[in-house]
Amino acid sequence: MSARCPRCRQGALFSGLLDVNPECPSCGLDLRAHDAGDGPAIFVIFIVGALSVIGALSLEALFEPPYWLHFLIWPIVVIGLTLALLRPLKAKFVDIQYRRRSTAL
């Protein structure tokens, strides 16, 4: 799941943290039509939500830490996982859209 152009695999896919370049700087592929929409965010919500709930319940059941420790740990875990997963998933969605549209034509 690289953040590279789905056609040439050379040009940068993103111009910012999550902004898709309007066109590939390497091969000129028009990337404006490949909008991932809310798809990556939904997957991140499901994955991070499940992992954080399972983690919080497991931590509580095993060690019974004070609640302030939960308030310290879980926001960091949730924000970290979200930032780690959102960009690669968005790149994968753009890649899948490019592949499916390219074969359909």
* Residues lying near Zn ion in the complex (CB under 5 A): 5, 7-8, 11, 24, 26-27, 29
Residues 20/5, Cβ–Cβ less than 8 Å? no
Query: Least distance (Å) from Zn ion to the CB of residue 14?
Result: 13
Query: Least distance (Å) from Zn ion to the CB of residue 11?
Result: 4
What number of H helices and E strands is found in the chain?
2, 0
List of long-range contacts for 70-79, beta carbons under 8 Å, 24+ apart: 77/51, 77/52, 78/48, 78/52
Residue nearer to Zn ion on the CB measure, 24 or 89: 24
Beta bridge partners of 23: 30
Residue nearer to Zn ion on the CB measure, 7 or 70: 7
Query: Least distance (Å) from Zn ion to the CB of residue 104?
Result: 19
